[in-house]
Structure 1
Amino acid sequence: MLEFRKASLKDIASMQELVKLEVEKGVILPRSNDEVATSIRSYTLAILDGELVGYSALYIYSVELAEIRSLIIKDGLRGKGIGKGLVKELLKEALEFDIKKAFALTYQKAFFESIGFKEISKEELPYQKIWADCIKCKHFPVCNEIAMIYTF
């Protein structure tokens, strides 16, 4: 049975193991254990039959804007609705905070469109996103990710 729950500090090692290959490929930004620990409350985990099979984070930028980030699903389980369930959980959380918009930077445009996100220009993203996160990416400044936004 698939369930979603908030992450705790004891989950960090499993989270890092799950994301390792995607970080090596440059699909997801690397985050140290300390960085994950600092923002542990933003992560929601997908647990299938007691096993961590995915996670993502809701990072709040302002009273009106949040980001869905670090979305990872275990190889072999992609395309089974786990990622969509995670994003929907984070959107519910954003709504509870009265957030007006949530964005994502992604290579998976169709996936986010299927949830109701629309493509926007990267120039519309918060300036601090580029200098806090994107600058750490091995693809910076030539990035093929697509900016997507969800409006409540």
Structure 2
Amino acid sequence: MEINFFKPNVTHIKKMQEVVKEEVDNGTILLRTEDEMANTIRSYTVVEVDGEIAGFTALHIHSARLSEVRSLVVSKKFRGLSLGKKLVESCIEEGKNLGLNQILSLTYQKEFFEKLGFDEIEKEQIPEHKIWADCIRCKYFPKCDEIAMVYDL
């Protein structure tokens, strides 16, 4: 089994959207249009297994201090290979290299992020104005049941 992590280009967007479609449909990941993904393509990291896109995530920078793990997904076919963990670790490493202070995650997977060193915070503690522009697009807004977690770099 050959596993490859890489920074995608815009030609990967359609396949990435196919991988995340089920999670978008059930409301666990916010829809990102093709144009939005193209605009932020540099923030993504993709993992392939034997040449097939198995998952991806994005490290979105909100400010010189705060970034966010976004759109973390691993295809059901490839779960159990620690690919999600490795994708988040790549975000942590990238955040350190960029000189950021903190990485935020809004998640339903509290235990997963705790194992990676993230700590739960109250949503009211979310630094800056992070997400409200994104949150208003969520089908669960304003009754958000995601858990806010942060990792201090």
Matched residues in 2 for 1:129 and 1:26: separation? 19
Q: C-alpha offsets along residues 20-49 of structure 1, whole Å, 9 cap, x if unaligned?
A: 111110000011100100000000001111
- Unaligned ranges ≥5, structure 2: none
The residue aligned with 1:14 is 15
Matched residues in 2 for 1:88 and 1:8: separation? 21
The residue aligned with 2:51 is 50
> Percent same amino acid at aligned positions?
49
In structure 2, give the amino acid aligned to 1:58: L
1:151 maps to 2:152: yes
2:130 alignment partner, SS class:
helix
Quick check: 2:66–2:127 contact (8 Å CA) kept in 1? Answer: no
Matched residues in 2 for 1:91 and 1:147: separation? 16
The residue correspondences of 1:26-45 to structure 2 (distance < 5 A) are 26-45=27-46
Q: C-alpha offsets along residues 30-69 of structure 1, whole Å, 9 cap, x if unaligned?
A: 1110010000000000111111000000001111110001
The residue correspondences of 1:56-95 to structure 2 (distance < 5 A) are 56-95=57-96
The residue aligned with 2:3 is 2
- Unaligned ranges ≥5, structure 1: none
C-alpha displacement of 1:100 = 1.1
C-alpha displacement of 1:127 = 5.1
C-alpha displacement of 1:128 = 3.3
1:53 alignment partner, SS class:
strand
Matched residues in 2 for 1:117 and 1:2: separation? 25
TM-score normalised by L of structure 2: 0.95
Matched residues in 2 for 1:96 and 1:88: separation? 12
TM-score normalised by L of structure 1: 0.96
Q: C-alpha offsets along residues 80-123 of structure 1, whole Å, 9 cap, x if unaligned?
A: 20000000011101100011110100000000001000000111
In structure 2, give the amino acid aligned to 1:70: S
The residue aligned with 1:118 is 119
The residue aligned with 1:133 is 134
2:142 alignment partner, SS class:
coil
1:133 alignment partner, SS class:
helix
- CA-based RMSD of the aligned residues comes to 1.1
Moved more, 73-82 or 97-106: 73-82
The residue aligned with 1:98 is 99
Matched residues in 2 for 1:67 and 1:123: separation? 16
